[in-house]
């Protein structure tokens, strides 16, 4: 692991579009996807930047090279991810649980750090800065099942299980949907587990 001092900057939609290729390269490397995945994902990421409440944060090294990227937006009915998660929640936990989580939430769509810079706290700062000031009641995200640094980060910050071992259409891997109430606790404060049932935040 290479330890590099990072500067964190908020991205406008224009900034994001200008640096899309660099951000997608980090995504492909961090997720271990084939290089062709970047080209396939580019139109989707550009569409995301047009959605209500979109915001993005980047981590840069001293030379301006991107080390990490995070973005998200307000979740709404009709969005692919929203409808997929709603379908799974209704099937497993009922309409009330789906409405409780999906009635007012921010979707943390992507958060990735270059593999060589992982483990240095960049991901947590990206996540915290992305969510700072988000007005929605909850934040939700999906992450592949399995022990990873990302999992440890989400648990440390108080994310709880919303839906486990879920298969999105077109992807054979099992995913976990995790969520928590906003705002996050200040740095250095244990995130803690939400004491309410994981499938029905009140």
pLDDT tens for the chain, 202 residues long, are 444 579 999 999 999 999 999 999 999 999 989 999 999 999 999 999 999 999 999 999 999 999 999 999 999 999 999 999 999 999 999 999 999 999 999 999 999 999 999 999 999 999 999 999 999 999 999 999 988 889 999 999 999 999 999 999 888 999 999 999 999 999 877 654 443 333 333 3
Number of domains in the chain: 1
Best CA proximity match to 23, nearest among 47, 42, 3, 1? 42
Q: Is the pTM of this model over 0.85?
A: yes
Residue 75, classified by CB atoms within 10 Å of its CB into exposed (0-12), middle (13-18) or buried (19+), is: buried
Residue 187: inside a domain: no
What was the pLDDT predicted at 191?
54
Residue 94 Rama label (left phi>0; alpha psi -120 to 50; beta): left
Catalytic residue among 73, 105, 154, 166: 154
Domain residues for 20?
A: 7-181
Rounded-to-integer distance, Cα 48 and Cα 79, Å: 10
Best CA proximity match to 104, nearest among 59, 56, 53, 154? 53
Residue 202: inside a domain: no
Spatial strand order in the sheet of 7-11? 7-11, 55-60, 66-74, 105-113, 138-144, 175-181, 160-166
What was the pLDDT predicted at 5?
79
Asked if residues 146 and 100 have their Cβ atoms less than 8 Å apart, the reply is: no
Is 33 part of the annotated catalytic residue set? no
In the three-class reduction of DSSP (H, G, I as helix; E, B as strand; rest coil), residue 202 is classed as coil
Structure tokens at 50: 């047009």
Rounded-to-integer distance, Cα 127 and Cα 198, Å: 21
Q: If you count DSSP H runs as helices and E runs as strands, how many of each does the chain have, helices first?
A: 7, 7
Residue 111: inside a domain: yes
What was the pLDDT predicted at 171?
86
What was the pLDDT predicted at 197?
34
Residue 141: inside a domain: yes
Residue 198: inside a domain: no
Best CA proximity match to 21, nearest among 2, 35, 4, 10? 35
Alpha carbon distances (Å) from 146 to 101, 125, 150, 164, 165? 23, 22, 10, 11, 10
Residue 195: inside a domain: no
- CATH code of the domain in which 116 resides: 3.40.630.30
How does 141-177 read in b/e, with b if 16+ C-beta sit within 10 Å?
bbbeeeeeebbebbeebbbbebbeebebeeeeeebbb
Structure tokens at 55: 């915001």
Residue 18: inside a domain: yes
Residue 174: inside a domain: yes
Rounded-to-integer distance, Cα 175 and Cα 168, Å: 8
What was the pLDDT predicted at 194?
40
């Amino acid at each position: 692991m290479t330890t590099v001092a990072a500067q964190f900057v908020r991205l406008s939609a224009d900034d994001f579009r200008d640096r899309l290729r660099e951000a997608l390269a980090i995504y492909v490397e961090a997720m271990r996807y084939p290089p062709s995945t970047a080209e396939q994902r580019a139109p989707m990421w550009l569409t995301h930047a047009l959605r209500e409440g979109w915001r993005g944060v980047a981590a840069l090294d001293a030379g301006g090279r991107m080390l990490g990227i995070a973005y998200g937006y307000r979740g709404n009915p009709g969005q692919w991810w929203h409808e997929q998660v709603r379908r799974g929640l209704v099937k497993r936990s009922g309409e009330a649980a789906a409405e409780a989580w999906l009635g007012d939430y921010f979707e943390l769509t992507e958060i990735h750090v270059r593999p060589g810079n992982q483990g240095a706290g960049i991901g947590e700062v990206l996540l915290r800065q992305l969510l700072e000031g988000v007005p929605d009641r909850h934040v939700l995200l999906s992450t592949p099942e399995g022990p990873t640094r990302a999992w440890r980060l989400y648990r440390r910050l108080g994310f709880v299980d919303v839906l486990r071992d879920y298969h999105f259409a077109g992807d054979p891997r099992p995913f976990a949907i995790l969520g928590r109430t906003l705002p996050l606790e200040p740095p250095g404060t244990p995130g803690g587990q939400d004491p309410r049932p994981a499938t029905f935040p009140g």
